[in-house]
Amino acid sequence: NAGVMQNPRHLVRRRGQEARLRCSPMKGHSHVYWYRQLPEEGLKFMVYLQKENIIDESGMPKERFSAEFPKEGPSILRIQQVVRGDSAAYFCASSPGGLSSYEQYFGPGTRLTVT
């Protein structure tokens, strides 16, 4: 009964490179959420997706960040032209949807370091 899976667990990128973070939701879950945790800060919502749809991206920076959740395969959070300020832990959560959408189960996170 696998939980939310994220990979890679650690990612090092030089400034200007692209980062791709992947998230596979729990079995039976069709809703995915991405959150970012900066050092010494709380988790901040970034985006909420269902299969092939972005439902709420109010927390996504306007530039360089994008997310998708295709019909097949994992959800991807993509950061183009990374900068040092993008260094953080990125967590993905999933929920079953419907009335249980607030029950969000988190993955282990991807720790992005930009050098």
Partner 1 sequence: QKEVEQDPGPLSVPEGAIVSLNCTYSNSAFQYFMWYRQYSRKGPELLMYTYSSGNKEDGRFTAQVDKSSKYISLFIRDSQPSDSATYLCAPGTDSSYKLIFGSGTRLLVRP
- Please tell me the chain's helix, strand, coil percentages from 3-state DSSP, rounded to the nearest 5: 5, 50, 45
Minimum distance of partner 1 from residue 36's CB (angstroms):
11
Q: Taking the complex as a whole, how short is the minimal distance between the CB of residue 53 and partner 1, in angstroms?
A: 13
CA distances to 39, 47, 93, 110 from 62, in Å: 21, 12, 21, 21
- Please, which residue, 82 or 90, has the CB nearer to partner 1? 90
Least spacing, CB of residue 34 vs partner 1, in Å:
10
Q: Report the run of H or E that residue 83 belongs to, with start and end.
A: none
By CB under 8 A, name the binding residues for partner 1. Answer: 4, 31, 33, 35, 41-45, 48, 55-56, 58-59, 91, 95, 101-109, 111
Q: Looking at residue 25, what DSSP letter applies?
A: P
User: Contact at 8 Å (CB) between 94 and 31?
Assistant: yes
Toward partner 1, which CB reaches closer, 41 or 72? 41
Closer CB to partner 1, residue 1 or residue 58? Answer: 58
Residue partners of 16: CB distance under 8 A and separation at least 6: 81, 82
Closest distance to partner 1 from the beta carbon of 52 (Å): 18
**Please, which residue, 35 or 69, has the CB nearer to partner 1?**
35
